[in-house]
């Protein structure tokens, strides 16, 4: 790694060039057989067995449709907005570093960054030496991630139904991505994470602390976007309890006080599948 990349990594910035992932190069198709074009639009929607999917509004919950549409709309501005996010979160970087260490030590499979957005956390984990690929609901986010980090693997997909085999992953990061899932759906999401993790695999979740539903839409009005979708602030004790109910064992918890650009505490939970 160059001195420049080392200094960028120390600040939590994505390195200028991401290393080639042993998980494989981009194929231009998502894990469910969806072609993603250069502008991030999706075409040829088919299921795993090659059969056409019905209209997505008829086949998925409304919160998934709203979240996808919102992030497709704001994708370019969001990428700039969060580009240096990790540089402002030293405690968050510390949890990511701990995650990399325990996943590499367990050595039971690659890691997935679920809800990867434009790929900044995926690239950060890769630069720390972890075999990582990214998954996101938004085709336009995935298109940006592939342009920003062409040597890494990114797929369109949903955390509610991951296109991964049982016990195939050594780690999962859900970096502020479970916040767009209604709390009543969290047990199903955590069960899905448990399904795809191998024994000894680790899960790291990060989220804003609280207990309320919010609409981030007004944030994007200053960028000229009109979007409406939900984001939930979550109580750490409740999330920890749900993770235990899903079968996970607690490894560590970090509660960070609000930073200069934050209004709430930031929760981080690291758990392991026995």
Range of the structural domain that residue 105 is part of: 61-272
- What are 45-96's pLDDT values in tens digits? 334 333 333 344 457 899 999 999 999 999 999 999 899 889 989 999 999 9
Residue 226 in any domain: the answer is: yes
- Tell me, rounded to whole angstroms, the distance of Cα 240 from its chain centroid: 18
CA distance 178 to 142: 18
Q: Which of 34-43, 55-64, 205-214, 223-232 has the highest mean pLDDT?
A: 205-214
How does residue 31 score in pLDDT terms, banded at 50, 70 and 90? very low
Mean pLDDT over residues 113-122, rounded? 97
Residue 2 in any domain: the answer is: no
Residue 164 in any domain: the answer is: yes
- Name the burial class of residue 214, with classes exposed (0-12), middle (13-18) and buried (19+) by CB atoms within 10 angstroms of its CB: middle
Question: Domain tally for the chain?
Answer: 1
> What rounded mean pLDDT belongs to the chain?
84
Residue 10 in any domain: the answer is: no
DSSP per-residue letters across the chain:
--HHHHHHHHTTPPPSSPPPPTT----SB-TTS-EE-TTS-EE--B-TTSPBP--HHHHS-HHHHHHHHHHHHHHHHHHHHTTTGGGG-HHHHHHHHHHHHHHHHH-SS-EEEET-TTSHHHHHHHHTT--EEEEES-HHHHHHHHHHSTTS-EEE--TTS--S-TT-EEEEEEES-GGGS-GGGHHHHHHHHHHHEEEEEEEEEEEEBSSEEE--HHHHHTTT------EEEB-HHHHHHHHHHHT-EEEEEEEEPP-TT-SS-EEEEEEE--
Residue 9 in any domain: the answer is: no
Residue 37 in any domain: the answer is: no
Query: Looking at residue 36, what is its pLDDT?
Result: 47
Residue 223 in any domain: the answer is: yes
pLDDT higher than threshold 80 for residue 137: yes
Q: What is the pTM of this model?
A: 0.81
Q: Which of 36-45, 211-220, 236-245 has the highest mean pLDDT?
A: 236-245
**CATH number where 202 lies:** 3.40.50.150
pLDDT higher than threshold 70 for residue 28: no
Residue 181 in any domain: the answer is: yes
């Amino acid at each position: 790694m160059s001195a420049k990349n080392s200094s960028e990594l120390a600040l939590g910035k994505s390195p200028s060039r991401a290393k080639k992932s042993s998980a494989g190069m981009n194929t231009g198709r998502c894990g469910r057989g969806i072609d993603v074009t250069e502008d991030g639009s999706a075409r040829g929607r088919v299921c795993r067995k090659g059969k056409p999917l019905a209209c997505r509004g008829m086949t998925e919950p409304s919160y998934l449709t709203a979240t996808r549409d919102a992030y497709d709309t704001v994708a370019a501005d969001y990428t700039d907005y969060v580009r240096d996010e990790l540089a402002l979160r030293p405690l968050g970087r510390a949890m990511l570093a701990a995650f990399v260490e325990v996943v590499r030590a367990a050595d039971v499979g690659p890691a997935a960054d679920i809800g990867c957005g434009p790929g900044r956390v995926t690239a950060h984990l890769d630069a720390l030496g972890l075999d990582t690929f990214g998954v996101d609901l938004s085709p336009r986010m995935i298109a940006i991630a592939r342009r920003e980090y062409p040597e890494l693997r990114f797929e369109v997909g949903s955390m509610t139904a991951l296109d991964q085999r049982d016990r195939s992953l050594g780690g999962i990061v859900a970096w502020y991505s479970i916040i767009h899932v209604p709390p009543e759906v969290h047990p199903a999401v955590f069960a899905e994470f448990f399904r795809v993790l191998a024994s000894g695999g680790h899960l790291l979740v990060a989220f804003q602390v609280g207990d309320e539903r919010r609409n981030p839409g007004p944030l994007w009005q200053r960028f000229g976007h009109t979007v409406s979708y939900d984001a939930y602030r979550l109580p750490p004790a409740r999330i920890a309890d749900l993770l235990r109910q899903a079968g996970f064992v607690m490894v560590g918890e970090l509660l960070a006080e609000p930073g200069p650009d934050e209004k709430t505490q930031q929760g981080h939970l690291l758990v392991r599948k026995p």
